[in-house]
Each structure stands twice: as structure tokens, then as C-alpha cells.
Amino acid sequence: MLKGNAIIGQSGGPTSVINSSLAGIIDAAKGFESIDKILGMRFAIEGFMQGNVIDLGAESEQTIDGLKGTPGSVLGSCRHKLQDEDLPVILDMLKKYDVRYMFLAGGNDTMDTIHRIEMYAKQQGYEMVGIGVPKTVDNDLFGTDHTPGYGSAARYVAISVMQSGILARDMQKVDKFVIMQTVGREAGWLAAGAAAAKKAPQDPPHILCLPERAFDKDKILAKVKECQEKFGFVSIVCGEGITFADGTPVSSAQSKDKFNNVEFGAMGGASAAMALHKMISDEFSFRGEFQITESLTMCGADRASRVDIEEAYMAGAAAVGLAKQGKTGLMVTLERESNRPYKCVTGEVALNEVAVKAKPMPDNYITPEGNFVTDEFIEYLRPLVGELPEYAKLSYKKV
């Protein structure tokens, strides 16, 4: 069994429960006799290459326990795209700090980062264990039933849509529609999460625009007209990455990040919600509203799902469990055993099966019309978001 220090990093966008995973790793690592010191990367792999390393073992038990309910990424994150020339620098830092165990929490690109580091170290004859801990509000990682962070973000979206829908219902004589945009470049999991808010046909959301289906302007406008005439207002939720049939983003965004991902709405470009707002206004002369929450869904600790917090901690602890077994080159997975009662356990998947890939929503979760989700998806979703608030409704009995 390898003997040395462990280092932990958090990378990419945060979630409201990524720090719970950090707490899980730290607590489990304290009980692993092969780990001497528990270190942290300040600002992820970018900070590590600069020697920005902190002593997590110096933190109090109270602080570590408090991480379970703390939003953001307390270690600090980055979106550095790993280059081949970075690998020798990282290896030098691994040797300098006697790191034999590396745990990185993140999404697709993070899994690619730790996979490449682990492989390079092996090629250079440096023994180390590299384990990935899943994280992303997008819920688009391969190999896992769902990702820590998704349930809380979906809950945030559902409550927001529920509350903004009440406002739209009551203000329908002024504003005929409301649009909410969620993050999600290629997968509609988060936009689809809004469906948890719906209990009756008139309840929001009425229309979902998902990246998995080509955006058909004529069909969407027809659906808008139908819903407005039936309910008096229209609630629409769209993923930021929706595209027309030819692949052109509805947002008309052109800028890209370091990973060559389109930054929807960045640098002055239109957002999908703004573009859709204009289409509806131009077609029907309706006044309406749009809401673009961006990172709010990633840090809404006040709306975090209890299941999500517990599973994030469980995933962090499981990462150390894999290391104890002498395993490396893996990502922890969440495996659902049943819905009623809900039961989930951890598993494992090879990093090379996860890295730089995106998992779209399966066809059986999307209605044939392409603008809403099926009952199968609702069954999948409900345990993750938990119970939603109940609001009073008048009977509107006329005098």
C-alpha cells in the first residue's frame, strides 16, 4: 500500500453540495493509515502548479462538518485546460509534496484532467492513486445514474419556476409569458428539472425547450398560442444550449471558452431566453419577462436537496474507499437500486469512459412532441429534488 500525502481539488463550476463531497473525502482520509497529511489545491490544478497548497488537516472538525451546508467551492476552482507541457510541472509538484493520493471533484473536463495526470505519472514510474468524484449541475456525466449537485440545482429551478409561474398567472393581464433559462450546453437535464413544479395542466412550466431536440420556431410559437389561450399565460423553460436543426445556437452566441465550449450569452451575445422572448413578442405583440439565473443554481444552498447533500458526502467518502482498495484511474458513481423506497449506493467507472463526454437525456424521458418530459423522467427526478413547497390557491368563486 502506498504511503504519502493526499491532495484534494475542486474544479469547474461549483454546486451547492460540492463542499459536502470535500467533507466526505477529508473525514474518510483521516481514518486511512496510508495517508499522512491531507492537503488542498487552492484554485484547483492551476493553483497546484504554482505551489498554492493548503493544509486541510489544520482545519477544525466543526469547520469540516460545516462544509456540508456551505455553497461554492471553498478550495477555489479554475477552468484551466490541461496542456501536455503542464504534466512535468505537475509531476514535480507531486514529488515535492509527496502526494500519493489525488482526489479531484468535477465534471467531464476534470475527469479528463485527473485521468491524464494519473496516466502520465504511471508512464514516468511515479506511483500514485487518482480518483475522481462526480460533480455537475448539468447531470451529464457518463457512468453514473446522476451527479451530486444536480438534485439541488433541479430543486432550485423547480421552485423558481413554481414561484415565477404564480407571478405570471397573477400578472397575466400585463405579462402574457415568462421564460427561464438554465445552464446546460448539450443536455437538458436541468431545464427538465423544472417539471417537478408541475402538478396540474395549468401549472408551470407549460413548455420545455431542451438541447436534445432541435428548436422548431413554428411549433414552439403554436404551442405558446395554445397555452396562452388555455391558461391566460405561458411558462417556458429553455436550456442555454438549444439549437436550430442546422446546429445554429438559438442564442446566436459565438464566443468559446478554453475547452472550446460555446459560452452562451457571453461577451454581449444574445441568450436563448432573450432570443425566444423576441420571437414571441414579434409574433404576438405580447409583453413578457425572462429570467437567466446562470450561477445561482450552482450556489443556492438555501434550496439544497437533503438527498443531494448526503450523496455528495457519500461520494467523497467512497473515493477514499476505492483508494484503500488500491484502485486508481476511477470515478465514483451513484447507482440507483430503487425509487420507492429510494435507495442509492456508490460504484465505480473508469476515468477514460467518462472524460470529455456528455450524457444527454434518453429518448424515453422526452415526450414525442419534444417539448416536455415523460412520467418516467418525473419518477427519476422526484427523489433527487425532495418535497417542494405548497402554496395556497383561491377557488375564484364568482359572486
Q: Which of 27, 86, 109, 138 is catalytic?
A: 138
Instruction: Tell me which DSSP letter residue 1 carries.
Output: -
For the beta carbon of residue 222, count every other beta carbon within 10 angstroms: 12
138 catalytic residue (yes or no): yes
* 23 backbone dihedrals φ, ψ, rounded to 5°: -60, -40
Length of the chain (residues) = 399
Q: 40: which 3 cell numbers?
A: 488542498
User: How far apart are alpha carbons 115 and 101 in whole angstroms?
Assistant: 13
Diameter of the chain measured on Cα atoms:
84
User: How far apart are alpha carbons 47 and 158 in whole angstroms?
Assistant: 35
**C-alpha dihedral sign at 369, 374, 377, 381:** positive
- Amino acid, res. 381: L
Instruction: Tell me which DSSP letter residue 60 carries.
Output: -
Nearest of 114, 57, 160 to residue 332 by alpha carbon: 114
Sort strands 4-10 and 99-106 into parallel, antiparallel or unpaired.
parallel
Question: Looking at the annotation, which residues are catalytic?
Answer: 138
